[in-house]
Each structure stands twice: as C-alpha cells, then as structure tokens.
A and B are shown apart, each in its own frame.
Chain A
Amino acid sequence: MIVNLGYTALLLALICSLYSIVSARVYINTNRYQWVDSARNAVIAVWFLLTLACLSLVYLLTNEHFEIEYVASVSSRAMPWYLKATALWGGQAGSLLFWSWLMSTYTGVVMLRDWSKERDMQPYIITASMLTLAFFISLNAFVENPFNVLWIDSFGNITASVMRPNANLMFTPKDGAGLNPLLRHPGMIIHPPMLYLGFVGFIIPYSFAIGALAVGRTDSVWIRATRRWTLVAWLFLSLGLLLGGRWAYDVLGWGGYWGWDPVEIAALMPWLTGTAFLHSVIIQEKHGMFKRWNMILIILTYALVIFGTFLTRSGVLSSVHAFAQSSIGPLFFMFITITFTISLVLLFRGWETLGSSKTLTSWLSREGLFLLNNLLFMGILVACFWGVIYPLISEIITGQKVTVGPPFYERTTGPQFAALLFLMGIVPLVAWRITTVNRLGHLIWKPTIISLVVPIISMISGVMNFAALLSLWLASLVFCVTIYEFYRGAIARSKSSGNNFYVALWLLISRNRRRYGGYIVHLGVVFMAVGIIGVEMFQTETQGTLALGERMHLGEYSLVYRDLTEFSANDGRVVTRATLTVYKNNKAIGKLEPQRDYYKDSMQRMTIPDIYSTLEGDLYVLLIDWKPVGLQQATFKVYLNPLINWIWIGGFGFILGTLVATWPDQRDRDILTNNKSFAQPL
C-alpha cells in the first residue's frame, strides 16, 4: 500500500511540475495573474508530494520491506534504524528522489517570497527551475524507480516493476544486500545531504538569471534577490566538500582527505565558479560592471552542477563515488544538451544589452583585483576541467586510458591558490576605482611586518622548504590584514562615535554584515590553508610489523603493540582490532585501536584508522595486516599529519562568516520595501 502511495505521489509531483510550466506559459501569453498564482501553487504542491514520496520510501526502508527492489539493494536487517533511514540516499534511485526533494524545497520556499517587484520574471523563473526539477523527477518515475517491486515467475526468474506481470508472484528476499560498508559512517549521514543542498541550491540564482535574460532586464535585481540563496548554497557546498574530506580521512584509510578523484573535482568545479560569482556580483551591485561576466558565471555554475551529476551518475567515470552502471545516461545527455543550448541562446541574445558603459579605471583598484581573483578561479577551473576530461578524450582518440594524477593538479592549481591568498591579503586595503601604490604601501606595511613573524619562526625552527615558507607567509599576511581591517574599522568608528572599542567593533560588524562576514570566511580560509600546508608539505609516515610488546617510532611519538582481538559485531561485521599504547616523549598519553572490518553480507573489508588528535597534528594509525595464527604479529602504517585539524576548524569560519553575511538586516528590509532607497548603493 505504502509503495503505491509513494509512487502515486511521485507521478503527481511530475504532473504538477509540468503543469506549473504550462501555467507559467499561459500567464506570459494572457498576462492574467491567476495563472502565475496557479503555477506558484503547483510548485509548492510538488514539495508536499515529493515529501510524501520520500517519507514512503523511508517507511519502506525502516520497516524492512525487502520486496521493494531498492530496499533490498541498500539495506539489511542487521543495520541500525538510522542507517536504514539514511539509505534513502545510499543508492542511485533513492538519492535521485532525495535530490529532487531538496530541489523542490528550494523552489517551494522561493515561491513564498513577495513577488511584486519581479512579477515579470516569475513565470520564467518557474519555467527554468521546474524544467530541471521535472527532469529529475522523470528519471525517478521512468528509469530509476525506487518503488519497483520484485516479482517471481514460475521459472524462478525475478523481475522488478511497479505492476505485477502476468503469472508472477511477489518475491520477498529473506534479507537485503545491505548498504555499501563505505557508506556506513556518521559522516555519510550528513555529507551527501550537504553536498546536494549545495548543488541544487544554485538552481535559484540560475533561474533568476534566466528570468532576467528572458525578459531583458539588465538591472541587478536578480542578483539582489538571490544573494542570500547563493550564499546558502555556497555554504552547503563548502561544508559538503569538507565533510567529504573528513569522511575520506576517517574511512578510506589512506591518511589523506582529498585525492583529486574525478568526482571530487566534479564537486569542486561548481564551488570554484560559485565562489568567483559571490565576489563578482558585488562589483555589479556597487558599480554596474561585470553584468555579462556574472551571467556567464552563474550559467557555468549551474552547468557544472548538472555536468558533475551526469559524470557521477551515468557510469561514464569510475570512482569510489560513482554510482553503479545505470541507464539514465542517454536521458541525462539529452537534458544537458537542451539546457546548455537554451542558456547559451538566451545569453547571446541578451549580450549587447548587458554591456556596461563603465570601464576599469585601473588594475590597482578593488574592481580590477576582483576581476583578477575571478580569472584565477577560472584558471583553476580550466586545470580541473582538463584533468577530468582529458582521460576521456585520450581514451577515445588513442584507445589508451591515461589517468591524470594528483601531481598534475597540485602543480597547476597550487600557484594559483597561492596567488588567490595573496589577493585576499591586499584587496581589503585597496579602494574602489583607483589606489596609488603609495597609499597601499602606507596601509599595508604594518600588517606585512607582523606577518613576517610566522615564516621567520618557521625558518628558525628548521623549515627550509621555500614553497612552505612562502605559503605560510601568505596565510599569515591574510590573517594580519584581515584582523587589521577589523581593528582599523573599529578604531575609526569609536573615534567618531565615542563608543568604546568593543561596542564600536560590534556595531562595525553588525552594520556591514556582508563585508565582515566575508572577512570571517577569509579567516576560515587562512586556517584551512595552514592545515593544508601542514599535511601536504610536512606529512611523515612509517610502516612496521610488530610482535606483541614491540615498539615503533614516528617523530616524537612512539607506539607499543599491546593486543589483537577478533570478534563478531551484531551488524554482520567481523572486527579485528589492535590495541596500541601511544607515548609522546616517552610518556604514555593514551591508547589507539585501529581496526579492520569484514562485512560478511557484501564480502567487503574496510580499514578503519584510529587517530590521536591535537591542534598540532594527528597521529593516524592503520592496522593493515596480521598473522592469523596466534595473532602474535601485526603490521601497522602510521602517519603524522601536522596541523590537519585546522582544516576542519576553518570550516567553522565558513559557517560563522556566512551566518553573519546572510543574517536578516533591518536596512535590507527597508530597501526591499521602500522603492525610493532602491537607487542608493547598498
């Protein structure tokens, strides 16, 4: 029964989304408001229907309805209830449904806003977003149906379909195949939702951009209206990437957090264009420049989201992230062709009117350097794109599969990331329109001198690697300049208003949320850079086979092998767990228990590290082998990952900064409700 409910809701959602497109079209032709209102209601109804479909699937998953093909393929009796529920996004069909539901949440909520100022764009916005959503729903409804039931005929052949074929009986396997062990991790509960929320969130600014292009509006209303949506999508995408890194670090057992896997890059690419977009829209809002560029960036971001999803889900790429072979490829390909073509036609049609009469007065101005920042992001994007696409091209042309490894990406993107850090350090001190070198020098000498402390101390303590010293200096420069900006602003405000310093600082931030929120995100980037420099340049590792009681050393740490136990866990795993005592400078500081899990249902094994974590760095221990007889000897691989935790700490900077920047602001509300102040620069 529940399965019929779920599938009916899915089909109705598809019909409603198609109806909203038709209804929006009728409004464009007749200009009668009730049609666009009806379209809006249909968009909201889609959310309710998809919610129902998702809840039905969750119910089937948690109640062990193994007669459902999807339930049998991603869950098993031994799994705890929360893993059963989150298996909703553990396979292709379910995660597509979940994806559509998240997208409908965005499109539904955006319909609730006050549309009086963008009434002309609204039908086009509905069309652009609902076309995308309808496509994803139809993938579920017709190709990857999560509500397919298993049937068996008299010859024992098993098929999956919604309707019962003639002379078939329902087939209920005794148990499901279980979720891929790689996905049975707390990180897996939140990593995909975050990433998907980031991905699908860009549908909102994209649809508004398409709406603006379609009606020929050249003002920045679409950017103002979607500023927060873009920030939210960007934050979720950033967190999704970070959590993915954390998951890889905890589960994959190779001591790293980022492997330049094609699917990771597919998720990074929209982040690059999205970040460039967040910066360049500021120039359009303040100075009316970069209008074409912003259109290109948001269309590119959306295109990269769709392209990345296609690569991951169509079976074109092989990777830990890729979904199994699926037949959604051809449909997806058609969708890509259609949407990319429509977007480009609209862009070229509006190209002339989007031109700006203003030109750059000087490269040494805030807008000039913002453009440079954007070009660097594009440079990184080109390197990433080439790395993903080159193996495909070379395989087709030469028949040889060439893989592009991490060294390629590190060499091509490393210097550009360093240049971005440098820009992050100087741009806050550069004025709009034009700055003289003298003026900049006057502002920057103090933070520069302070920032030199970090590389000098590093040098004294023995770091001689030029690249490491340079990047550490760049990170500390950004840190000092950013703190200096807070300080300078607060001092100036406290002088003019007579408030004390802290009150002035509070007022400074709360009156310029967007700017200072951005700076807080920059501080997060600094922490992240420090962590990345630490791991990439100073990671050390060792490997050794120990008998019980023997000791191995790495840096100032040493480890003594104490015990090895083997036991069956109640979720169908056989766990082999080693116990080691950790010593730092010959003082016992704790124990570590790296383990190897063997999943009987899927015959897969996983190497789970145990980590001794401090702000200075992680001691990361893997149990990679043992002698089965007597359990007397075991082989361990140990990594020392200096400063790695600053990467995750940086993530909190992202959250805090974005919260500050998006927090509702009384002034914003005034501007939105009061037409006269619209002309004022924000």
Chain B
Amino acid sequence: MGNINSKLNFQWLLKMAWRDGKASLSRLMLFMASIILGIAAVVSIQLFSDNLKQNIQKQSKSLMGADFIIDSKQEPSEKVLAIVDSLGVDASEVNFVSMAAFPKSGGTKLVKVRAMEGQFPFYGDITTEPAAAGATYQRLGGALVDATLLLQYNMTAGDSIKIGELTLPIIGALQSIPGSTAISSSVAPTVLIPFSLIEKTDLLQLGSRKEYQYFFKAPEVNLDALSEKLNPILDAENADLDTHISTSERLGKRYDNVSRFLNLVAFIALLLGCIGIASSVHIYIKEKLKSVAVLKCLGASRKQSFLIYLIQIISIGLIGGIIGSAIGTGLQYAFPYILQDFLPFNVEIIISIQPIIMGVALGVLMSVLFALLPLLGTWYVSPLEVLRGAEDNLQKPKYARIVVFVTIAVFIFLFSFWMLKDAVDGLIFTAGIFVTIAIMAGVAHLFIQLIKNYFPSSWGYTKRQSLLNLFRPNNQTMVLVLAIGLGTFLISTLYFTKDILLAKTSLENKKNDANIILLDVQTEQETALLKTFKSKDLEVIDNVPIITMRMESIHGRSVSDMRQDSTLTMRKWVLNHEFRVTYRDSLKETEELIAGEWIGTATPGKPIPISITDNMADDANLKVGDKAVFNVQGVLMETVVSSIRKVDWTSMQINFTILFPTGVLENAPQFNVMTTYVPTKESSAALQRDLVQQYPNVTILDLRQVFTIVEDILDKISWIINFMAFFSILTGLIVLVGSVRNSKYQRIKESVLLRTLGAKSKQILEITALEYVYLGILGSLTGVLLSLVGSQLLALFLFKEPFVPSVIPFLVFLPGITFLVVLIGLSNLKSVLNSPPLEVLRKEV
C-alpha cells in the first residue's frame, strides 16, 4: 500500500511539476539557456582533451617517427657513438639554424636545416608535394623546403636553395614531418637535405648551435628498461635518450596544461550561468510561494511542495545538460580547425561518453546547487501565507543557508582542483572567483546605500523613480551588476592581457634598439663585417665575443659525480648546460649588482673573479666566494663568484648568465654576436642578401620578422582564448536577458499602474531607460576597473611587463555594454506601451 502510494505520489509530483512548469515554460527556458553554453564549453574542452590524449597515445610512434631517439646538443663523444653503433642506428640527423638564400628571387631566410641520413620516419609520413619527393630527395641530392616558405618566396620544385656554401635543387615542398607544428616551424621553417651534403655547406663549425639525432626502429625493445639503463651513461656524455612513449607523455602534459586553462575559462562561463540560474530561480520561487502555501493548505507536505520545484530544476538542468553536451560534442569538429597550427598531428575525432555524462551530471548538479537556496523557501513557507500574504514572516533558514553556501564553495573548489590537479591552485581559483563576486556585490551594495543615503530628492519625477527602482523590493540590481560586471571584466581582461603581450613586440619601433642580430660571426670575419656595416651607413650597436664552456666542478665536487647524486638540491641543468659566456670590464645599464663586488679585470695567479645572475645563483646553489671550475673547450679554469647580478632580460640587449672579467678569455676560441638597427624592411632584406652571400655561416635574426611571427602566434592564441571567452560573454548576455526578463515581471505591474494613472509612454520609457543606464554603467564600470586592477597584477607578477592600459575598454566596452543593457531593458516595455493596461495585466501577471 505504501509502495503504491509513494508511486502515485511520485507520479503526481511529476504531473504537478509539469503542470506548473508548462505555464512558465518561457521563463524556464531562459534559466536553461543560462547553463547550456557553460556546459557546452566544458564538455567540448573535456572531449577535446580526451581526443588529444587518445590521439597522442595512438599516434605516439608517428609523432616521433621512431621508437626512440638518442640526441646530443654537441658533437657526440666516442662513448655516445659506440652506444649508437651498438644499438644499430636506422637513421640519423644533424640540425642547426642557418641562413638560406634563394638565388631566383634573391631572398634570404632563417631556416632550420635538417640533414638526414636513412629513411626517416619509420612511423608516420613525410608529406610532400610532389608526393614522391620525400622518398627521392636523398638519392637526388636535393632539398625539401617548407611549403609555406616556398609560397612566401614564390618558388617551386626545380628552383634552387643556397645553404652556406652549398647550392642544391629543391625537390619538393615539405608539408609535414613527424614532430613538427606550424607554430614551431614559423620562426625557422624546415629545410631537409641529405646528410651526405652537410660537409659541403661548411656550416658545421665552432659556435654553431647544432643537434645530433639518432633514430632507432626497435618495436620489440623494452623501452623503459633501455631508457633506465642508458640515460645515466648518456647524461654524463651530455646526450639524452627519448622514447616515443616519454615524448608523447610530455606532449600530452603540454596540451593538458592548455586544456586546463581553457577548462577554467569554460568553467567561468558555467558559473556565470549558475549565477543566472540562482537569480532567476530566486524570483521564480518567490512568485510561487503563495501557490506553495495553497498546496500546503490543501494537504501537501513540505517534502511534496519542495519536490515539485526541485523536479522542475532537475529537469531544467538535465535538459540543459543534454543540449549543452550535444552542442559541446558538435564543437569537437571545430577544434581541430581552431587549433590546427598548434597540433603536430591530425586529430581523429573520437566521441567518448565520459565527458558527455559529466556534462549532463554537471548540468543537473550545478542547477540544483545554485537553485537550492531559493528552493529552500518552499520548504519553510507556512500555509498561513494564504491568509496573511506576509512574505516577511517567511522563516530564514540560517543553518540550511550556510550549508548550501559551503556546499557550493566546496563544489567549486573540488571541480577546479580536479581540473588544475593542484589543491593550492584550485584554492586560489576558488578564492579568486569569490573575491571577484564579492567585490561586484559589494560595489552594488555600496551603490544602493549611497543612493539611499544621498537620495537626490530635487531631481525630476522620472529620474527619481528610476533611481528608486534600484533598491525597491525584488530589485535586480545585485544580479544585473554581477552579470554585467563579470562579463565586462572577462572581455576587458582578455583585451588588456593581449595588450600586455603585444607590448613586447612593439619595442621594435624604438630607435636605437637593435632589430638585426648576427650570430656565429667568426673572429676572422669581424673586421670585414664591420667594414660592410660602415659602407651601408649602419651603426654596430653591440659586438660581443662569445666563448662556450661547461661546468667541470662546483665547490670542489666534480660534475660527473654530482650527476649521480640523487639527493642533490641544485637544478641539474647547470651540470649539463653549454654556457655561452662573454668577458668585459664593466656592467651595462641592464645589469644591477645585488651581492659581492664587480671585478672587471682578472689578476694572474688568482682564481678568476666571475659574476653570475641571481637565478643562476639560486639554481646552482652558489653564493659570493664560492668556487667553480669551468671547462673551456678542454682548458680548465678555476673561478670564484665575486658578484651576483640582477639582469633585465626583457630589454632588447644581449645578456649573459655568466660574465668573465677581461684578461682571461681573449685568446680562447670564440665567435661574435653583433647587433645593428636597420630602418626599413627593404634595407634589412638587402643587408641580409649581402651578408648571406659574403658570410654564409653567419646566422641573421631579423627581429622585425620575428615580431611579426610572434604577433601572428599571439593573434592565434588570442583567437582561441576569445573563442572560449565567447561562451562566457554569451552566457553573460543570456543571464542579462534572463535577469532583465525577470525584472519585467516585477516592474510590469508598476508600469501598467503608472499607465493607468495617466503616465505617457515617454515617461515610462524614460524611467526604464534610466534605470538600465544606471545599472549598465555601474556594472560595466566595475567590470572594467576590476579588470584594470587584475591586469595590472598580471603584468606585475606574471608577465613582468609594464602595463599601459588601453582606453578601448572605457571608450568602447563601457558605452557598448550599457547600450546593450538599455536595449534589452526597453524591449520588455513593448507590450506595456502598445496594449491597454488591463490586457497587459491579465496576460502577464
């Protein structure tokens, strides 16, 4: 009997939820719309992350092109070569960055030369145009040149390319090669040449940064065991073994970080939607309390009344979750297109069910959580309301409210923790959200208080009326300021952040800042080059000698010994790094002494006094007075840290981690780095052409070109961020429409009453328009100002860049958003202004 009753009861609850809901369908739809986009954003990112992980796992071999690689940033030692030989190398490569010249067009370009031997890759493909070129270029003794580069210089297969002293025919256009992305090859596009021709380029000389790679095809080998066995030996020889598994794991982690960031942006959209839900449900339930009281009079229990509305909210969340998940799934097909330049492989779309289920569950959970507070009202409303109609008598369930608040906070923390995989980051993110919301709410509250305390009683009727609307019962001031403010905050922060990032690239316009850097200038070329500059009326800004060296021992302990020490607290890169060091007798304006004493000249017979940067001091656990021995191409030099410097790395100058005094390294094998400023693009191209012809080994970095590429990359990144922010902004707009629509039900009676009492359309319009102007300005101004503070903090602590705020958010976003708010607000009034009062009252209330 009990079962039948409870079954009937549940059916009745469903029926009542539907009956009640269908009469308010348009409003419920609006609640639903608030979360759809947030869910869509979260699901799409989750699905795409899953897709990336699965694709990386599936394609891990073809991402590397081999089972494992041994690589070294210097000419491999005998020991390394012996290991490589014993393992039976299948293909090898030496790569370096160099200038390439195109005799047909006379153009020059910094490229990454990859000299290959053997049929690499063993997995995946080199895609070329013509298709056969990948298989024939080695036999034909020609080059495969990056397809975009060929397009830029209007060249095709059959033309020639000059690398160093070697001119060779272009066999085909290189479209893709395992492990390379459009972004990674944008600064120095790839040129593939046969290894047998490398000697003829005459570029493998001292000072060139080169990398040796040995590719192995060994599907049966236990890669973990191999890596464990060989890596310590290879480490000691400054070489490294990478397996396809470790590489794909690294790649997966890198994309994981990106997904996490995008996930947070998506989560913000969802939270914004939830604030919309909370505010809409608050008004919705408030209007339903009378009905709930009637139901209780007729014999419905508290649980039954509560469940009717809970079922409605669960249904909204469920349907919203399903629609959001469906949209999120559909968006999968857009992501490979949006992210194509950042992905080193083609993404095969696989729809996994887990993110979809998560989306639906999230839809239900978030809706219920954020609606719970207003829903509690149905539990506590007394049936006596029917007789009294005194809402003020409504009990405020203090403890239940605290429990709901805490649950929401815990949920937000858990979700962000799950996404960020770090408790502290999750806590900071959660706190950040609450602080932002608290500030917005505080501003709204303060504004209301200010109006109350300093009410401009002398103002005209309409102006006063519109101000009064901001703090009357059932006002939407708080919610609208939150929705408008958060939306504006997001847009402005994105705008300011892009500004900060792009500010770096605009440095190129500063006169006297070098925009051409010449690397690998040999000592014997120095005089001739200086002459060339003089003949072109160019001033050499910097001419710095560079000597390469490695650490031999620190504090009397050998580096090879330290490498084996698992308890070592210092950063290990110090032990393996090839340092590029210069010598001079004075500090530059970009350097600031923070400890010790600067000594510009060495004293014979004493340890050499060197200066190191603060980060080097931290990483190597070195302080003033500590001793270190450097291996300068076979010669050991005993040094002592005499000073520690702070260096402004963001200045466009050549800076060094380690600085030697004069009187020591003058005769060591060295090369120079020169910088100059070239006023125009054309003169830069002409200079590069001449230099490549005369000094083919010299690498030229054209900062103007690099800036353009960086700007292009930033544009692409900001497009992705904007794409995700779009969800937040659109959700913000929906919440805005929802909140304004809710206020319609509050305001319509008043407007009709005013109309009945003889108010003209203009007066009603003015009251409403002004109310939304106040709200729009307050919300968007708070958002922009908060974003200004946020961006300043980002600039200071994250980007470490000066921040000069743009006026665009103030001149465009603020009036634009305010106008939008007024427009949405006024759209509510159409029915009031065009129909007789009684008709409106009957229809709308």
Q: Do A and B come from one complex?
A: no
List residues of chain B with CB under 8 Å of any chain A CB: none
